[in-house]
Structure 1
Amino acid sequence: MVRQGGHDKAHAALCVRAVRWLQLSESRQGPGCTIAVSECQAADAGEIPDAIGFRAVGQELHSVVVEVKVSRADFLADAKKPHRQEPAAGMGQFRYYLAPAGLIRPDELPPRWGLIEVDGRALRVRAGHVLAPRLPEKSYQRDFTPWSLASNRERELALMVRLFARVGDADLLHRQLKEARNRLAYAARTAEHYRDRATAAERNNFVLRCALDEHAIPHPTLERLPKSLPRRASAASNGQAYLERSTAHGV
């Protein structure tokens, strides 16, 4: 939700932290959302989640909402909203409150809601689907049923469409990124090719020098390549820098 008043800065700062938490991997006790955004409004003037993330990994496709609360009054008022009175009208298959430690008690949470406590620089999950244990027969899966809520998929879709609209021409951006990745892959292959050639040249020079020395034949000092050659170019390791350069030149 968009706020006004004396808690704006604290609320905005916690919204940023909520987005970062949404992007945390499962191994770091996060929901591992593929994308996350704060205070984004759908087409109409209804619910505006403080932070929402979407996860699309394998068979997992779900949304996670985080509502930030910085005061008791704010928390108590939240229960009176229409999309709280009717949970299926709200966004988020999984929902959390994020608040300073001690502001919200776990026994005050609405059914199936989670709680993230802010303690200085630390965020501690007290309840929620990210704490669900792994299934004994399938260790890569967890049972989220106790935390799952019916959500307003149409409104979530409207929010995602609005996000794409802010990007501009999504297809043009997609094609530009694809072209940049192709150029990066070509540059990586070219760098690997020349690295292999440099390594072969160094070996040949060494063999020739040994042969000349064996026959006591004087030879000029040959310029040597560095003993430690650069590692092979990697699209994964160099991709970000390449894309930044491409963007700067209008790719």
Structure 2
Amino acid sequence: MPEGHTLHRLARLHQRRYAGSVVRVASPQERFAADLVDGRVLVRAEAHGKHLFHVYGPDATVHVHLGLYGTFAEHELPTTDPVGQVRMRLVGPTHWTDLRGPTACEVLTADEVRALKSRLGPDPLRRDAKPAEAYARIAKSRQSIAVLLMDQKVLAGVGNVYRAEVLFRHGVPPTTEGRKITSKQWDALWQDLVVLMRAGVRVGRIDTVRPEHLPEVTGRAPRQDRHGGEVYVYRRAGLPCLVCSTPVATAELAGRNLFWCPSCQSG
């Protein structure tokens, strides 16, 4: 599932290409009420966590959650006939995009958008985020910090990669109960997520390895993975830790694969 930086990249792209213009919106699948926004001005595009919002005014916002399989395909004009199961087609002055396979694509009112956002935790990529709200939940929870970081009601936008990597970078055992995370630790985790995720928005991939551990410095081979990016532990089970050479461990936690270094994250 795409993590928060992907949705913020899409929001920025759609803001540049479509915001402030009259757009045509259609649903070749006829799976959502495109006629409610077709021919209107797209006021702005924004993201909160893993949710994308195309705002057309106080009475209509298109909400998209990509889920596991959703993708946007971006093109320059002219348009071509829809191929495959296109849930939404958005056509602007210079570009058009097709959305396929999302978990959600729906038109919401302003009240419905507020209700949805109220169920989400603070997003490290939003300037209006309040990290103290996340810590208030974490500090009283007996759940592991690894589970809490992936709970979108606690923290919005963090997925499996950022979860594994930020815990490694701060030497936090993933099974640590939330209530045992100090406010100082949380401040460091939050600030690091802000830096890492902003970098992800800029370059379009997740890189978490510090300069001294990069391939060109250590002489190791660059990472070969369809997700791209240089990481410490994510999807490196059994391989030597880039810092201490201990084999990276893995386990299933709450239905997702967890990765960590038993030595660097021994607590």
When the two structures are superposed, what TM-score results if normalisation uses the length of structure 2?
A: 0.23
Return the structure number with greater helix share: 1
> Per chain length, whose mean CA-contact separation is higher, i.e. which structure has more relative contact order (CA < 8 Å, sep 6+)?
2
Larger radius of gyration between Structure 1 and Structure 2 = 1
